[in-house]
Structure 1
Amino acid sequence: MASGFAVLKESVLRAKHVVFLLVDQTAPRKDVVFLLDGSDYTRNAFPAMKDFVQRVVEKLNVMENRDRVSVVQYSRDPEAHFYLNTYTGKEETLDAVRALRHKGGRPLNTGAALQYVRDSAFSPSSGSRRQEGVPQILILLSGARSSDNVDTPATSLKESGVLIFAIGTKNSSREVEKISSDPTYAQSVSDFSELPNVQQQFLASVNTAVLEVTQTSPPVLGKTDLTILLLISSDRLFCGVFIPFCPQCREK
């Protein structure tokens, strides 16, 4: 480690121009899993559901060490389209969302799907950063009442620290309210074509909850909230932070 630092120091001192940039890493990070009702009940509504996911992802800061996204679709059985660690960039994530196809099938087993995302989608091997203190967010879109029990898996998810947000239709509104971490985290629409009408309020609710969790969580040892990006440039010198071995800093 010391020898590497010495090489960096020597390179900086020999460089004609050095640029130091600060990258703020203090904004809350998020692990977001979308759980989509892909049963026969949502065949006509699925394009609207997919558009909603796309619009939400566009608002996220999807990149390395920032926000991560996963999409799981379910009917009788759950199916992961991609996990939290499958993609690291926003454009490739959006491409994967645009490529989603309706699963189909019945009955609708929401309880089994909730258990699946707890055990698989939010596992460290799938990219979950729960152990680093990163907020775990589940966004459920359900268009019908479940054929199996949802109480036990929903409770298990909440106890594991996952914040559950949900949007349901008139057929599932009471159930998604029960599944959600808080009744205010659930919203109801007559059908999923109305999703654009609730998107802004829904995102505000998610962001507020994430901020509250982040502020009350203890800091994780070994993590840093500041990244220093050093660039060797032949143009001009801009120094955004004091570096002891930087020639320009010593002149300040």
Structure 2
Amino acid sequence: MDKLDLIFVLDSSNSLQPNDKKEMKDFMKKLIENLGVADNKTHVGVMTFDDSPNLVFHLGTHKTQSSVIAAIDKMKFGYGATDTGKALKYLKEEMFTKPNGDRPHVPNVAVVLTDGFSKDAYATQYYANESKKLGISIFAVGVGPSVDPGELKSLSSSPADQYAFIIHSFSDLDKVGDQLVNTTCSVRLPNTSITAVSTAKPGCYDRKDCMVYGEDVCTDYAGWSSYHCPLWCGFCNGTTSQPPCLDILPNCVEYGGDICTRPDLRIWALRHCRAYCGFSPCIGTPTRATTTPKPTTPRVCQDRVNCEHYGGHSICHDEKYKGWAKDNCYSYCGYCVEYAIIPPTTIGNLHCPGWKIPSECKMTYGDATCCPMPKCPTPGYNLTVTKPHL
């Protein structure tokens, strides 16, 4: 390939160890050496992401291979959660732009490296799709057991077997390097010029993820919307994509129709259960009204991720993340479906209450001056006191 604009998008979340960061740097340097950096060949940009995107350097900032490698050696990583959606939004709106070094008529390639799943699956899929519509080819490399294979494939370009990779550890990155180089060399510009995809006037773009607010925001908060959501609301001429009529979560029915009507859960439901709730563009066809849930076997009381890495037990009670917590931190947050009923008891002159406790919790008995109390492996379990024995 004669010319290529290549951007690395690197996870810098809490779970990364010092050696993981070194392995990522070595991977980038090896890939760059194979592709070759020069004014008329490959230009490289680098960004990291945790709770927010972070610029390392833009395309074309460093014109020679040695200067790119030196900049990679000096780069720092952040610390936080994994918000891949925000990173892809920044990639599309800031990194691959002419003012920041993107060259016209040169293929755009992004390599996303992550060791976990995004905190906002809907935004990740949405901005991945928007980036691919602009002709950006996305390689997605997932490392370790916390990666969501489905999410990785959905954010990568097609075919997934050439653009999405899952490896055991960062030390295995060299195993995908050659295949990535070979596929990169076959990337071609889309039939439609990247600069002609959008018909929006200069300055006609949304500054927020406006779809989560719904159409009412355009009339109820017209002043705010005219600045933050002019394209979404039609205040300026341009084209925007309808959000897909689908659910990001496969089990929205388990949360019940309440998530669709509660104001405090609206944004979460818009992002995760759009079809189930019948939000735009699914208006009039909510799946919750027509779908009978299939019988399910009781879920095993265990977590899908290391929940300590996601902010401790605050995620179990924060309304913004309760749906995610129930799906991924089932045991840690005390959502287990199997409960034991402990009947009220009398100990001497004490009338002790009954309890409804998860099966992982046990009752502890002291002396005759105290009622038995439940004890659970960790904080956060749902414990219910029943009517005291009288």
- Find out whether 1:178 has 2:154 as its counterpart: yes
Deviations 1:39-87 (A, max 9, x none): 1122341111111011111112211122100000010011111000211
> Partner residue of 1:165?
139
> Partner residue of 1:73?
48
Question: Which of structures 1 and 2 has the larger relative contact order (alpha carbons within 8 angstroms, sep 6+)?
Answer: 1
Q: How many residues align?
A: 186
- Structure showing greater radius of gyration is 2
- Cα distance in structure 2, aligned partners of 1:111 and 1:79: 13
- Cα distance in structure 1, aligned partners of 2:151 and 2:38: 34
- Find out whether 1:156 has 2:152 as its counterpart: no
Q: What is the deviation of 1:117? A: 0.7
- Does the 8 Å CA contact 1:29/1:67 hold for their aligned counterparts? yes
- Find out whether 1:203 has 2:175 as its counterpart: no
> Partner residue of 2:94?
120
> Partner residue of 2:108?
136
> Partner residue of 1:189?
167
- Does the 8 Å CA contact 2:125/2:151 hold for their aligned counterparts? no
Q: How has the CA–CA distance of structure 1 residues 159 and 189 changed in structure 2, closer, same or farther, with 3 Å as cutoff? A: same
- Structure in which a larger fraction of residues adopt helix: 1
Q: Quick one: which amino acid aligns to residue 58 of structure 1?
A: E
Unaligned runs of 5+ in 2: 194-390
- Cα distance in structure 2, aligned partners of 1:192 and 1:28: 29
> Partner residue of 1:235?
none
Instruction: State the identity %.
Output: 28
Aligned with 1:41: secondary structure? coil
Aligned with 1:97: secondary structure? helix
Deviations 1:186-238 (A, max 9, x none): 11101111111221122212222x2xx159689xxxxxxxxxxxxxxxxxxxx
Which stretches of structure 1, 4 residues or more, deviate above 2 A after TM superposition? Answer: 214-218
> Partner residue of 1:62?
37
Q: Quick one: which amino acid aligns to residue 42 of structure 1?
A: L
Q: Quick one: which amino acid aligns to residue 189 of structure 1?
A: I
- Cα distance in structure 1, aligned partners of 2:181 and 2:46: 17
- Does the 8 Å CA contact 2:10/2:114 hold for their aligned counterparts? yes
> Partner residue of 2:117?
145
Unaligned runs of 5+ in 1: 1-26, 219-252
- Find out whether 1:98 has 2:73 as its counterpart: yes
- Does the 8 Å CA contact 2:113/2:140 hold for their aligned counterparts? yes
- Does the 8 Å CA contact 1:69/1:83 hold for their aligned counterparts? yes
Q: What is the deviation of 1:174? A: 2.9
Q: TM-score, normalised by structure 1?
A: 0.70
Q: TM-score, normalised by structure 2?
A: 0.46
Q: Quick one: which amino acid aligns to residue 56 of structure 2?
A: H
Q: Quick one: which amino acid aligns to residue 174 of structure 2?
A: P
- Does the 8 Å CA contact 2:37/2:63 hold for their aligned counterparts? yes
Q: What is the deviation of 1:171? A: 1.9
Q: Quick one: which amino acid aligns to residue 113 of structure 2?
A: L
Aligned with 1:42: secondary structure? coil
Task: Identify the match of residue 82 of structure 2 among 100, 108, 113.
Answer: 108
> Partner residue of 1:236?
none
Q: What is the deviation of 1:28? A: 2.8
Q: How has the CA–CA distance of structure 1 residues 82 and 180 changed in structure 2, closer, same or farther, with 3 Å as cutoff? A: same
> Partner residue of 1:40?
14
Deviations 1:162-201 (A, max 9, x none): 0001110232233221100111211110111111122112
- Does the 8 Å CA contact 1:62/1:89 hold for their aligned counterparts? yes
- Does the 8 Å CA contact 2:31/2:181 hold for their aligned counterparts? yes
- Structure in which a larger fraction of residues adopt strand: 1
